[in-house]
Amino acid sequence: MDGKVYEVPSEWASRAFVDAAGYKRLYQASVADPAAFWAEHGRRIHWFTPYAKVKNTSFAPGAVSIRWYEDGTTNVAYNCIDRHLDTRAGQVAIIWEGDDPSEAKHITYQELHDEVCRLANVLRNRGVEKGDRVTIYMPMIPEAAYAMLACARLGAVHSVVFGGFSPDSLAGRIEDCGSKMIITADEGLRGGRKVPLKANVDAAIERLGGGGVEHVVVVRRTGAEVAMDPVRDVYYHDAREMVTAECPCEEMNAEDPLFILYTSGSTGKPKGVLHTTGGYLVYTAMTHQYVFDYHDGDIYWCTADVGWVTGHSYILYGPLANGATTLMFEGVPNYPTNSRFWEVIDKHKVNTFYTAPTAIRALMQAGEGPVKATSRASLRLLGSVGEPINPEAWEWYHRVVGDARCPIVDTWWQTETGGILITPLPGAIPQKPGSATLPFFGIKPEVVDAEGKVLDGAAEGNLVLADSWPGQMRTVYGDHQRFMDTYFSAYPNKYFTGDGCRRDADGYYWITGRVDDVINVSGHRMGTAEVESALVAHAKVSEAAVVGYPHDIKGQGIYAYVTLMADEQPSEELRKELAAWVRREIGPIAQPDLIQFAPSLPKTRSGKIMRRILRKIAEDEFGNLGDTSTLADPGVVSDLIDNRQNKQ
């Protein structure tokens, strides 16, 4: 039932940092005495003042508090750059591959140092100080990395907003954390198409009525004419000329904030997930080294965007803390052709490739030809992240992309966890396609039932974590109560992940997907409540309910049930108008795939929408609607079934 097992190749067992016996030994040590384990591994980064206290964490109801290395001081930019200059100033830190295949750059650690210092000086000259929040709304260009590291250098807290978000979404994120500084570009470039980033920033600031934004630094990417406010806005290439390439690192406490990253939950507005300095860097560096078995000289490529947590932890912070060479890609998998990923691998001799199942499924549809046209001889290891990978896609990735010689690390984690929590280690853990396998060091997963009873052995239920790890988020920015309510109230003394999972007889974890009202569209998290509130903001909509449904490429698609105002008529045109509306309100990733006009929605007698039924209809499971007798008007259901929208 659990399918095939892929054993660890023998050359991997001997090459890797950790083999099967090593994994057992280290894992046991890590959970038997977490403080001792993390005291030792915390020393992998440089501390200005070494820590004496290691772990001070509590998941207790009403008193959740998470502190690691709390009396140590360090700086993330120092660890990602300056610390390497003695030994690897001339080594390439970042390989940048442009959207256009003729564009690439190689940035050495020395150049990275100089560029980050310059950008930090530009920020400092504009009043940015330790603790200030800076919003970064950038395409995938090296300056995005410089901007994040410049903030870290100054002790400012960055909030990166994905370039695909709308002015409204951007405005909400600027306002929530009160940033006075925005770093952006004239335009982004993806798949040959331009993204009007600066115009979006202007629109966002206008929506905030100025909103306290004092400075906008604009990097020139496409050279497009953009409006520049003479007081507020400055071109980076002009400001850069006025500053030096030296800027001291601020001494930061381990628990000082490093960044805020907004993510969708089951209710309300996106939450500002707050990560801090010391524990986050220890955890991302350590997981990057062991999960990807990163050795000096390897070329490592994670295809995420820096607007998501995967980009933060595994394009930037983890790899650079390890002195790695990390590849940053501006483009998309199918531009100019479906061979692009594989051509980039050949061009830069990539050894480790880390991407999302949605990209694999999309490329799988294009057939083997575009893959087989390339060599991929440099590849040693493949990785997957962001959503469950179906066994068919896993097998294809393994056989076609990896020529059946590269192990696959299917890494389960979340924005909230900072780094990878459940994953194979390539030299230690046999893989089963579709399973994220076993916990990383220090991670204590448990499977619980709805009542919170901890289930032993082979079991299915909800996934919780029984203890803290250094990379864990510390709070929701500005709202610690929301942090406790969201993650620690369902199961007292445990962190609730929001994911369902099954543990098999070998102790392997199989993540089955979200059990809350979060959906995972092309590996991007979306709250159904956010899409609903965008829909009801439209003048013609009276009510909306949004659920996920299985989608061949995206993993999940967005299915919206919409009830119109009394005098409005359903039409194809209105369907398109509503889809475009959501796209404009939130961003393209939130656009519903299917919209069904429903005269009314199934509700209980107390007026609560029964989403369970809507989900079943969207999933085509009419025979399995469960108990509908509590509905105020059971007739609603047959109308919904008759008018269900066809898939893809």
- Please give the residue ranges that form the binding site for ligand WTA (CB under 6 A): 263, 308-310, 384-388, 410-415, 436, 497-499, 511, 513-514, 520, 525
- Cβ-contact 55, 68 below 8 angstroms: yes
CA 162/CA 149 separation, integer angstroms: 17
Specify the residue, 96 or 496, whose C-beta has the smaller distance to ligand WTA. Answer: 496
The answer to the question of whether 191 is labelled as a binding residue is yes
The answer to the question of whether 503 is labelled as a binding residue is no
CA 284/CA 131 separation, integer angstroms: 22
CA 102 to chain centre: 28
The answer to the question of whether 226 is labelled as a binding residue is no
Specify the residue, 219 or 274, whose C-beta has the smaller distance to ligand WTA. Answer: 274
The answer to the question of whether 88 is labelled as a binding residue is no
- We find the least distance from the C-beta atom of residue 274 to ligand WTA, in angstroms, to be 14
Specify the residue, 34 or 419, whose C-beta has the smaller distance to ligand WTA. Answer: 419
CA 95/CA 88 separation, integer angstroms: 15
Supply the DSSP string of 381-440, one letter for each residue: EEEEESSPPPHHHHHHIIIIISTTTS-EEEEB--GGGSS--B---TTT--B-TT--BSBP
CA 130/CA 102 separation, integer angstroms: 39
**Sign of CA pseudo-dihedral 318, 323, 327, 330:** positive
The answer to the question of whether 18 is labelled as a binding residue is no
Comparing every residue's Cβ against ligand WTA, the nearest one is 415
The secondary structure of residue 550, as a DSSP letter, is: E
CA 547/CA 561 separation, integer angstroms: 8
**Sign of CA pseudo-dihedral 225, 226, 230, 231:** negative
CA 623/CA 5 separation, integer angstroms: 35
- Cβ-contact 289, 323 below 8 angstroms: no
Specify the residue, 180 or 269, whose C-beta has the smaller distance to ligand WTA. Answer: 269
Specify the residue, 72 or 333, whose C-beta has the smaller distance to ligand WTA. Answer: 333
- We find the least distance from the C-beta atom of residue 484 to ligand WTA, in angstroms, to be 19
CA 451/CA 391 separation, integer angstroms: 31
- We find the least distance from the C-beta atom of residue 587 to ligand WTA, in angstroms, to be 15
* Backbone angle region of 211, left / alpha / beta, with phi > 0 → left and psi within -120 to 50 → alpha: left
Name residues whose C-beta falls within 8 Å of residue 317's C-beta, 6 or more positions apart in sequence.
76, 80, 280, 281, 284, 285
- We find the least distance from the C-beta atom of residue 487 to ligand WTA, in angstroms, to be 12
Specify the residue, 255 or 499, whose C-beta has the smaller distance to ligand WTA. Answer: 499
> Phi and psi dihedrals of 382, rounded to 5?
-120, 150
Specify the residue, 282 or 436, whose C-beta has the smaller distance to ligand WTA. Answer: 436
- We find the least distance from the C-beta atom of residue 265 to ligand WTA, in angstroms, to be 10
- We find the least distance from the C-beta atom of residue 17 to ligand WTA, in angstroms, to be 21
- Name the β-bridge partners of 252: 74
The answer to the question of whether 414 is labelled as a binding residue is yes
The answer to the question of whether 415 is labelled as a binding residue is yes
- We find the least distance from the C-beta atom of residue 434 to ligand WTA, in angstroms, to be 9
Size of the chain, expressed as the number of residues it contains: 648
The answer to the question of whether 387 is labelled as a binding residue is yes
The answer to the question of whether 380 is labelled as a binding residue is no
The answer to the question of whether 176 is labelled as a binding residue is no
- We find the least distance from the C-beta atom of residue 500 to ligand WTA, in angstroms, to be 9
- We find the least distance from the C-beta atom of residue 289 to ligand WTA, in angstroms, to be 18
- We find the least distance from the C-beta atom of residue 481 to ligand WTA, in angstroms, to be 21
Cis peptide before 336 (omega within 30 of 0): yes
Specify the residue, 78 or 413, whose C-beta has the smaller distance to ligand WTA. Answer: 413
- We find the least distance from the C-beta atom of residue 301 to ligand WTA, in angstroms, to be 17
Specify the residue, 92 or 511, whose C-beta has the smaller distance to ligand WTA. Answer: 511
Within 442-554, strands assigned E span 445-448, 454-455, 459-465, 475-476, 495-503, 509-514, 518-521, 524-527, 541-551
Specify the residue, 384 or 596, whose C-beta has the smaller distance to ligand WTA. Answer: 384
The answer to the question of whether 318 is labelled as a binding residue is no
Specify the residue, 503 or 514, whose C-beta has the smaller distance to ligand WTA. Answer: 514
The answer to the question of whether 284 is labelled as a binding residue is no
The answer to the question of whether 301 is labelled as a binding residue is no
Indicate the pairing of strand 555-564 with strand 594-597.
Answer: parallel
The answer to the question of whether 110 is labelled as a binding residue is no
Secondary element (H or E) of residue 137 = strand 133-137
Secondary element (H or E) of residue 106 = strand 104-108
Residues placed in the known binding site for ATP: 386-388, 410-415, 499, 514, 525
Residues placed in the known binding site for CoA: 190-193, 310, 334, 522, 583
Residues placed in the known binding site for Mg(2+): 536, 538, 541
Residues placed in the known binding site: 190-193, 310, 334, 386-388, 410-415, 499, 514, 522, 525, 536, 538, 541, 583
